[in-house]
Amino acid sequence: MKKELIGVYTIWLRDIKRYFRDRPRIIASFAQPILFLFVLGTGIASSFSTFGGGSGGDFLNFMFPGIVGMTVLFTSFFSAMSIVWDREFGFLKEVLVAPISRTSIVVGKLLGGSTIAMIQGAIILLFSPLLKIPITFVIFFKIIGIMFLVAMTIATLGIVLASVIKSMQAFQVITNFLLMPMFFLSGALFPLNNTVRWMNIVAKINPLSYGIDSMRFAMLNNPAFQLYPLWLDIVVLASVTVVMSILGSFLFSRQD
Amino acid sequence: MGIEKYMNDINANNIIEVKNLVKEFKGLRAVDDITFSVKENEIFGFLGPNGAGKTTTINIICTLLSKTSGEVTLGGYNVARERNKIRNCIGMVFQDPSLDDRLTALENLYFHGLLYNIPRSALKERSEEVLKMVNLSSRKNNLVMTYSGGMKRRLEIARGLLHYPKILFLDEPTLGLDPQTRNKIWDYIIKLKKSKNITIFLTSHYMEETEICDRIAIIDEGKIIALDSPDNLKNTIGGDIITILSEENVKLKKYIKEITGSDVHDAKEGEIRFEIKDSSSFIPKFIKNSPVKILSISARKPTLNDVFLDLTGREIREENASARDNLRMRMMRRMRH
Ligand SMILES: Nc1ncnc2c1ncn2[C@@H]1O[C@H](COP(=O)(O)OP(=O)(O)O)[C@@H](O)[C@H]1O
Ligand SMILES: [Mg+2]
């Protein structure tokens, strides 16, 4: 048992070490959220007056938790999917032939991805004063907790996919046809309660919607922006995580 | 009861036992009913061309791949049921690189040590020890990215030894390396064998490289076609190999067959070759009495390549094989960047 815990720790530590060593990645990870928030967000907000929808001042506030959610989504997904890289470049074999269980490898990978996603998300929180969103100590820890849960959910999804696909090409396909739609249909960029019916339905089965919803609750606590009660968000996220991590462990442990 | 005990005793020093092992990939029989055993503390070699099934067999023994049928035990443990026990006592150098090249050599060893539960107090000392053995101590804090192919290979050997395994697997340890570096790697392996009580299981498709083995299994198309010491294998060839270039091959072939009784084959570039027991006394007599003008003649000791040729009728085309390896390595490198 102790051996397995050390195994989990080792897998986790490697991901963390590699993350902090990869400066370009850390810097690049700022670029996308800034672009979304201050270019797209500001642009859309100011167009509200053109279309006669009020000031749009609330829009940036609405979008901010979505951007934090986006950061968590991409970071934890790609971290978990790095198993595909490790397989391609051979390091995975070193881990697979070591005397630790497949489950420990999966758990280590999940925790590694989630930790990095939390760090990245927390960095984005630094922009909150610019939007005049007050983040107190208590709110900060609420957000951290929620970010961790969301990151775990997404990372389990990444593990499942990484265990099924074996090539880098398939990886591109998944990014374009799964990850981007998941992001757009999560309520991160626009509210989903007033859109067309099919979008509404897709959003309901998209686990990320619940993550974004809970993030918004923790940051803004504005009932107008809230789709579901918090307990529902947490139950959905936790259930998806449990189911997906069991499935992921199973798929990852298969031998050919 | 008595017999069983006896059987156990004669098998007592077999560290790996493989019985009727079969592995199929969607209809392709990559490993086709092979049976062999590896003795404790020997260097055992798998020799065979690309695609013969060497890596597949190793992957099954080291618990990474499931078998289709057959029995495999290592140190008495069953590969299908006691995986962690097996993983604890083997060290691996895989055919393809398996280092994390964004980490330093020391970090790669550190993570390996954690995975194998080496006490931290011992880990540092052991890392230094194995790095020294492969002459990488001075580069231990460099990222593996900056290493040459040969250095990476040496680091992998060091890492494979870090947890003091009973058996070290080396799957094509010199693949894709230049000849000089290849020699160096073999020097390390020989040095290792001399300094430690360890069983080494290696594979290669470079015939001459497996000469250092105590025993060799020659494997082709998933089957073991010969298994013995290098000397005994070479002794199966009836003496030295004579190669002749003459003005009239057909006539000469008939003559040789008459006086020696051995079969004469066509070889490369219009030469003919045959085998003879005592070449140094044969050649002078032969040149004097030959009915056909001899343009050139050479005699050499048989190599494992000749053994393979003798058994399969084919040569392992090393030029092609290494060209393919280089291409493969280049492709891997390109994908990394
Ligand atoms: N995962 C796999 N799926 C399908 N075929 C495979 C797989 N791995 C190996 N093979 C095939 O099995 C045969 C033996 O391969 P391998 O064991 O790698 O040979 P060697 O190591 O002797 O060069 C080859 O024909 C190879 O194409
Ligand atoms: Mg091979």
> Each residue of A95-106: pLDDT tens digit?
999 999 999 999
pLDDT at B61: 97
Residue from the list A3, A91, A256 with its beta carbon closest to the beta carbon of B99: A91
Instruction: Give yes or no for B94 touching A (CB within 8 A).
Output: yes
Residues around the ion ligand 2 (C-beta < 5 A): B 54-55, 95
pLDDT band with cut points at 50, 70 and 90 for residue A122: very high
pLDDT at A8: 97
pLDDT band with cut points at 50, 70 and 90 for residue B315: confident
pLDDT at B334 over 70: no
More confident residue, B323 or B239: B239
pLDDT at B74: 96
Instruction: With residue A81 as reference, give the H or E element that holds it.
Output: helix A57-89
d(CA A154, CA A75): 9
CA distances from B55 to B95, B96, B168, B169 (A): 8, 10, 14, 10
pLDDT band with cut points at 50, 70 and 90 for residue B320: very low
Tokens of B18: 């493989």
Using the structure block, give the residue that is written with the tokens 């630790």.
Answer: A100
Tokens of B311: 């058994």
Count CB neighbours of A57 within 10 A: 12
d(CA B55, CA B78): 19
pLDDT at A53: 58
Q: Is A10 helix (H, G, I), strand (E, B) or coil?
A: helix
pLDDT at A51: 67
| CA of B87 relative to ligand 2 center, distance in Å | 20
Instruction: Give yes or no for A88 touching B (CB within 8 A).
Output: yes
pLDDT band with cut points at 50, 70 and 90 for residue B2: very low
Instruction: For domain B3-233, say whether CATH 3.40.50.300 is its number.
Output: yes
Q: Distance, in angstroms, between B30 CA and closest chain A CA?
A: 13
pLDDT at A19: 93
Quote the percentage of chain B above a pLDDT of 90. 53
Q: Distance, in angstroms, between A92 CA and closest chain B CA?
A: 7
Q: Which amino acid is at A217?
A: F
Distance of alpha carbon A194 from its chain centroid, rounded?
24
pLDDT band with cut points at 50, 70 and 90 for residue B337: very low
pLDDT at B336: 46
> CA angle at residue B71 from B70 to B76, to 5 degrees?
170
pLDDT at B36 over 70: yes
Is the CB of B112 less than 8 angstroms away from the CB of A94? yes
In chain B, which residues have their Cβ closer than 8 Å to the Cβ of A17?
Answer: 103, 107
| CA of B161 relative to ligand 1 center, distance in Å | 26
Is the CB of A99 less than 8 angstroms away from the CB of B116? yes
Give me the mean pLDDT over the B41-66 stretch: 95
Helix axes A137-164, A207-219, angle to 10 degrees: 170
pTM: 0.87
Over residues B198-223, the pLDDT tens digits come to 999 999 988 878 889 999 999 999 99
The response to whether residue B54 sits with its C-beta less than 6 Å from ligand 1 reads: yes
Nearest CA to ligand 1 atom 20: B51
Give me the mean pLDDT over the A231-249 stretch: 95
Which is nearest to A191 in space by CA: A48, A59, A98, A93?
A59
Establish whether this prediction's ipTM goes over 0.85.
yes
pLDDT band with cut points at 50, 70 and 90 for residue B328: low
Over residues B57-108, the pLDDT tens digits come to 999 999 999 999 999 999 999 999 999 999 999 999 999 999 999 999 999 9
Which of the 8 DSSP states describes residue A130?
Answer: G
Q: B235: Cβ–Cβ under 8 A, 6 or more apart, which residues?
A: none
**3-state secondary structure string across chain B:** CHHHHHHHHHHCCEEEEEEEEEEEECCEEEEEEEEEEEECCCEEEEECCCCCCHHHHHHHHCCCCCCCEEEEEECCEECCCCHHHHHHCEEEECCCCCCCCCCEHHHHHHHHHHHCCCCHHHHHHHHHHHHHHCCCHHHCCCEHHHCCHHHHHHHHHHHHHCCCCCEEEEECCCCCCCHHHHHHHHHHHHHHHHHCCCEEEEEECCHHHHHHCCEEEEEECCEEEEEECHHHHHHCCCCEEEEEEECCHHHHHHHHHHHHCCCCEECHHHCEEEEECCHHHHHHHHHHHCCCCEEEEEEECCCHHHHHHHHHCCCCCHHHHHHHHHHHHHHHHHHHC
Residue from the list B94, B100, B115 with its beta carbon closest to the beta carbon of A100: B115
In chain A, where the domains are located: 2-252
Handedness of CA B216, B220, B224, B228 (dihedral sign): negative
Give me chain B's average pLDDT, please: 87
| Contact by Cβ (8 Å): A117, A69 | no
pLDDT band with cut points at 50, 70 and 90 for residue B19: very high
Give the mutation target among B24, B46, B56, B308 for probing the ligand 1 site: most ligand atoms within 8 A of CB: B56
Nearest CA to ligand 1 atom 2: B25
d(CA B280, CA B172): 37
CATH match for B238-301 among 3.40.50.300, 3.30.70.790, 3.40.50.2000, 3.40.50.360:
3.30.70.790
pLDDT at A165: 87
Is the CB of A7 less than 8 angstroms away from the CB of B335? no
pLDDT at A57: 59
Instruction: Give yes or no for B116 touching A (CB within 8 A).
Output: yes
pLDDT at B39: 95
Q: Distance, in angstroms, between A79 CA and closest chain B CA?
A: 15
pLDDT at B180: 85
Nearest CA to ligand 1 atom 17: B53
pLDDT at A81 over 80: yes
Q: Distance, in angstroms, between A8 CA and closest chain B CA?
A: 9
Burial class (CB in 10 A: 0-12, 13-18, 19+), B309: buried
More confident residue, A176 or B75: B75
| Across A8-17, B23-32, B119-128, B180-189, least confident range | B180-189
Quote the percentage of chain A above a pLDDT of 70. 96
In chain B, which residues have their Cβ closer than 8 Å to the Cβ of A97?
Answer: 62-64, 87, 90, 92
Give me chain A's average pLDDT, please: 89
Beta-bridge mates of residue B69: B22
Largest CA distance in chain A: 64
Q: Which amino acid is at B94?
A: F
pLDDT at B63: 95
Residue B95 dihedral angles phi and psi, to the nearest 5°: -60, -45
Handedness of CA A71, A110, A206, A85 (dihedral sign): positive
In chain B, where the domains are located: 3-233, 238-301
pLDDT at A186: 92
In chain B, which residues have their Cβ closer than 8 Å to the Cβ of A13?
Answer: 111, 114
Over residues A20-46, the pLDDT tens digits come to 998 888 888 788 888 888 888 888 877
pLDDT at A143 over 90: yes
| CA of A106 relative to ligand 1 center, distance in Å | 27
Helix axes A102-125, A230-253, angle to 10 degrees: 140
Q: Which amino acid is at B169?
A: F
| CA of B72 relative to ligand 2 center, distance in Å | 19
Over residues B258-301, the pLDDT tens digits come to 888 878 888 877 888 888 888 888 888 888 888 888 888 988 88
pLDDT at B1: 43
| CA of B30 relative to ligand 1 center, distance in Å | 6
Residue B190 dihedral angles phi and psi, to the nearest 5°: -65, -40
